Chains A and B, each alone.
Chain A
Amino acid sequence: MNTLNEHPGNSAPIFSLSNVSRGFGKGKEAHQVLSDVDLVLREGEIVGLLGRSGSGKSTLLRIIAGLIEPSAGDVRYRGEPLEGPAEGVAMVFQTFALFPWLTVLENVEAGLHALQVPRKEARQRALAAIDLIGLDGFENAYPRELSGGMRQRVGFARALVVNPTLLLMDEPFSALDVLTAETLRTDLLDLWSDKQLPIKSILIVTHNIEEAVLMCDRILVLSSNPGRVVAQIKVPFAHPRNRLEPRFRNMIDDIYALMTDRRSADASKGRAELKVGSQLPDVSTNLMAGLIEALAAEPYQGRAGMAVVAERLLLEVDDLFPVAEMLEHLGFAELKGADISLTEAGKLFADYGTQERKAQFADHLVRNVPLAARIRLILQERRGHRAPRVRFEQELEDSLSEVFVEQTLESVISWGRYAEIFSYDDHTETFSLEDVEGEG
């Protein structure tokens, strides 16, 4: 694995970003999404932005697209400061984002009309793009008549028809089924390798490590909260790449290790202890139990590589990491390198029946998640053993933004209910100790 600062060769930079930061919200609620990001995009390369949810990779893409302004730093497009959406930068969306009231042809033509391309020429170019991307015959169909894969092809045709210099792709294949995604990836790579595309460079955002290694010449790994570039990895393999080749698999494992190692992946804070005001991930107790059971079973016997588990459980990085980390916080598992292993407590949990599991989970929850402990303590202290949700919302708002307050409370409520350490009534929005065993 090569880690390097800049792409070799002397091709001209298309985009250059230096010290770009972006926060959302004001004052106390300010939430730093990107911090001090440097990035140079050059002609002739496919660059991947790889990171977990919350790493700000989509924000970075939107800054380059001119849809979001950075709060600090310098963004240059072909040497000039970027001001708003630039000509020659086209985008493909995860949700396809086609206008449902326009036909395939009209969707593709829309961008040309915006540029005041004469009608006849626009029609010719649109038809050519539709042809190139394998959509001929569907010109008059409406998006809702098409399958997901075909819709994304329209998304590609719409982006390519304006002859962009840079193609931005925001998780373009993640809403598609595995087989369709693979076909689209290969088709795009073929067009790129055959130099049939007008584009000079591609920037793709993904959380799929394998996809990044398959497609990109250079991968930037972003950390979470706030997003920073923690590594740049050059992928030296020639297209078409073979997924089964050992060095391909090795690179995937290396990247997993890089992303698992919290010291680099989580903004150099070391192993972060949870605090009362920490953000809690949206992870269900069923998922946690499922992962524990899978790890305890054959052939892993308590220890497995993250990449292997992800593949086995059909989980994407974005789904697997939060579960694994929450298990670590709760003391049921440990993450080391690219591996995850069960602790003694985790192995016990796997053997227990329902009631024993609940008791053990309750014990670990109160000991390791300070927010859960705090809710329980306050309920025990209060007369009547009740407390309104607002009380905890206000407390969390000191350290988290509104959206994260909601998500954190939802998570702790569902864990607390499972563990039976408190109960919650959604109609009255109050916590209480009613129906909780061992309490009066």
Chain B
Amino acid sequence: MNKILRHYLPASTLRMLPNRWDLMALPLVVGFLLFFSIGAHQTWAPISTLQSQAISLDPADLPEYAVRTTLRMLAAMAASLVFTLLYGTLAAKSRRAEKLLVPVLDILQSVPVLGYISFTVTFFLLLFPGRVLGAECAAIFAIFTSQAWNMTFSFYQSLRMLPRDLEEVASNLQLSAWQKFWKLDVPYAIPGLVWNMMMSMSGGWFFVVASEAITVGDQTITLPGVGAYLATAILQRDMAAVGYVILAMVVVILLYDQFLFRPLVAWADKFRMENTASQAGAPESWVLNLIQRTRLVQRLLRPVTRTIGRLGNRRFSLPRSRRKAAPSARASQLVDWLWNGAIGALTLYALWHIITYVGTEVGLDECVHVLGLGLITLVRVMLLIAVASLIWVPLGVMIGLRPKWAEKVQPLAQFLAAFPANLLFPVFVIVILRYQLNPDVWLSPLIVLGTQWYILFNVIAGASAFPNDFREAAANFHIRGWQWWRTVMLPGIFPYYVTGAITASGGAWNASIVSEFVAWGQDKVVAHGLGAYIAETTAAGDFPKITLGVVVMSLFVVLFNRVVWRPLYAIAENKLRMN
């Protein structure tokens, strides 16, 4: 039928006829647009409505809350992208900026995410007095801090590893810096960037839940959203409402995955560097197919893509100037020296400022006490990662070696990693309260509840990618049992395991702030540890102590990374790579 029509109608008329993909795409697009406009409109309501308008536990209100939560995630992702492009470019293109920006980024990602919100809430509330926007910004900023850093690292690393021949082509074709950015730099970075966006996003749900209902001293923020709904449910001891919110979150994450990330990953596939045609394993997305095959959608998108294309093709540079004479080595050295000096001075000033600020309230014994708490949390993180590894490595290998299982379990593991585990905390708390269990022991599992899945799905990925030749060789030489694990499988999946464990451990440190200090109604369950310390001082609005707690935790994370993970990662990279 279609074929006949095509033959006899003029092309222009044909293009206007909706085909069957349009029938599905149209309602979707309109639906998305509707949600956006509602969400943005309510953001501009004055803050008084926010405070008087209590969160309703009626499940009928949940969809609206879910939309608002999702919008916060999107806003934070947009901000993260802009930040990534600017910061990453600056760090990669300027030798002097790099010296400052890269270590700063390393620290930024070691600071606990919820530590950021403790600091910035007041600032954002003051920035937009009397408007919800301030509180919104604070929440969005918190999510931003959970997403931006690894994306920026990925972008920066891509820029540093641009293939030399492509760079030479760009010069040979006389692309301007702006053109090169859009034709080479960004496309080359996209696969890594999209992967990191996915990781960021799945971590982000945890923090969006935590940041929608937070008390800093006398400032209580309750932003209508999934997180606030949960907080209200906990306060009112409403188990049914906790159930509803879990359900709502499941739906939201599934939709998000289908409508944003699957299409993005499938689209990003064309930016792969390998110059080989993709095999059967190329990512597919029905939404992307829908967009690409739908004439109406294509027509609507064309002005957008065309504008972007034209913008990328503009030169945006001054007419080619004669090449500047390189500054003398001496002068360059002098500038280096001044630059290093300035950074050093700034660091010292900041350090002095922090010490005097913290010192107003905190003595040396408090510092020692907090360090002790840090050690407790460190032990907790290490033990729990070890326990999670003991459980998930064998299971992950079993699953990964069976392609049919892996195919089914892998999306589930990824889903579980994205699911905000803090929604499940009330269940644990009720059990602990009921049986009077020791919180120091029984609260511990919560810190890996959400992040253990990173270990599982990385191990599954590793086992799936394990070369069949090696397995056949092992079978042929009768390598079995413990020898099989020690000489064949564990070295084979080690690089994947380390990647998963690093993510899991980073997540565990972050989670400690919410999982060592939990509540059900007015009952509070507290474990000893640095996370509980930060949570308690945040609730009390005690800024010097918050600062101390956050600084100590950042230190622990940085040291832990340097001493444990980096060497392991180096081993995985250098000695155990498959190629």
Which residues does A use to contact B, with CB under 8 Å?
Answer: 62, 65-67, 83-85, 87, 89-91, 93-102, 110-111, 113-116, 142-145, 151, 158, 162, 427
Contact = CB atoms under 8 A, between A and B. Distances in A.
Given A97-B166, A99-B184, A142-B270, A114 B275 contact: no
B271 A101 contact: yes
A114 B175 contact: yes
In this complex, which of A95, A96, A98, A114 has the most chain B Cβ atoms within 10 angstroms of its Cβ? Answer: A114
Nearest to B268: A101
A114 B176 contact: yes
A99 B166 contact: yes
A114 B171 contact: no
Contacts of B275: 96, 98, 100, 143-144, 151
In this complex, which of B172, B275, B313, B322 has the most chain A Cβ atoms within 10 angstroms of its Cβ? Answer: B172
B174 A114 contact: yes
14 contacts: A67-B171, A85-B171, A91-B169, A95-B165, A97-B169, A98-B275, A99-B183, A99-B184, A99-B187, A100-B270, A100-B273, A101-B187, A101-B190, A151-B275
Interface in B244-296: 270-278
A111 B168 contact: no
Contact of B172 (A83, A91, A95, A142): A91
Given A97-B166, A99-B183, A143-B275, A114 B173 contact: yes
Classify chain B: how many residues form its interface, as a range. 20 to 34
- Top 10 closest pairs, chain A to chain B, by CB: A97-B165, A111-B173, A101-B187, A91-B172, A113-B313, A83-B323, A101-B271, A97-B169, A114-B175, A85-B171
Contacts of A94: 165
Contacts of B190: 101
Contact of B168 (A89, A93, A98): A93
B541 to A, nearest CB: 50
Contacts of B271: 100-101
Contacts of A113: 179, 313
A294 B276 CA distance: 36
Contacts of B184: 99
B315 interface: yes
Contacts of A101: 187, 190, 270-271
A97 B270 contact: no
In this complex, which of A67, A97, A116, A151 has the most chain B Cβ atoms within 10 angstroms of its Cβ? Answer: A97
In this complex, which of A89, A91, A113 has the most chain B Cβ atoms within 10 angstroms of its Cβ? Answer: A113
B408 interface: no
Given A67-B168, A97-B166, A113-B313, A85 B270 contact: no
A84 B323 CA distance: 7
A90 B168 CA distance: 11
Contacts of A87: 174
Nearest to A151: B275
Nearest to B314: A116
Contacts of A62: 168
Nearest to A143: B275
B434 interface: no
A114 B320 CA distance: 13
Main secondary structure of the interface of B (DSSP, over half): loop
A142 B274 CA distance: 12
B238 to A, nearest CB: 51
A85 B172 contact: yes
B330 interface: no
A93 B172 CA distance: 11
A389 to B, nearest CB: 14
B575 interface: yes
Interface string B543-577: 00000000000000000000000000000000100
A115 B165 contact: no
A337 to B, nearest CB: 37
Contact of A93 (B165, B270, B272): B165
Given A99-B187, A114-B173, A114-B176, A144 B274 contact: yes
A378 B513 CA distance: 57
Contacts of B320: 84
A144 B313 contact: no
B179 A114 contact: yes
A65 B277 contact: no
A96 B275 CA distance: 11
A144 B276 contact: yes
Contacts of B187: 99, 101
Given A110-B183, A144-B277, A91 B176 contact: no
Contacts of A143: 275
B89 to A, nearest CB: 19
A158 B168 CA distance: 14
Nearest to B168: A67
Contacts of B272: 100, 144
A89 B275 CA distance: 26
A153 to B, nearest CB: 15
Interface string B141-175: 00000000000000000000001011011011111
A114 B183 CA distance: 10
A53 B320 CA distance: 35
B168 A97 contact: yes
